[in-house]
Amino acid sequence: MKVISLVFVLFILGCSNKQIPNIEPNNIPQELIGKWKIVEVYETDGASEPQWRNYSSSNNFEVWFKSDGKYVNSDGDVNCLTGTYSVKNDTLSYFSSCGGKSKVYIELLLSDTMIIDALNFEPFKIKYNKVISETE
């Protein structure tokens, strides 16, 4: 449940009539471009030390980062599945089509693996594996 809540917060924060900002695609790392699937989460149940756990859900969460600075999300409110994103230093910022925005820290970014830190008060990280690169 914690994962679903975080995913919701990361990509779909409150709807409004705000415009989606234009993103300069030249600052986007090439390794980020493509479709990513959650495979593990690093979290605590509150009583134990944080640890990596396989992501097990009936919902197969994926996000596709396009080279033009847009993303498509496979989960959440059907009206808020798209938006734009930007990368500055190691911070990934999302701007949903509903007007919500969020930031996460990119801890690791390789051509096939990405780990993001949600920057919560409790340890919470998400590990993704790349499913498809945009050029495929």
Quickly state the pLDDT bin for 24 (edges 50, 70, 90): low
Token pair belonging to 95? 């701007």
**Region 13-41 average pLDDT:** 69
The total number of structural domains in the chain stands at 1
CATH number at residue 21: 2.40.128.540
Domain residues for 84? 2-132
Closest C-alpha among 24, 6, 130, 132 to residue 87: 24
Radius of gyration of the chain (CA): 14
Per DSSP, the chain holds a count of helices (H) and strands (E) of 1, 9
Which residue has better confidence, 43 or 79?
43
Per the confidence metrics, is the pTM higher than 0.85? Answer: no
Which residue has better confidence, 2 or 56?
56
Quickly state the pLDDT bin for 6 (edges 50, 70, 90): very low
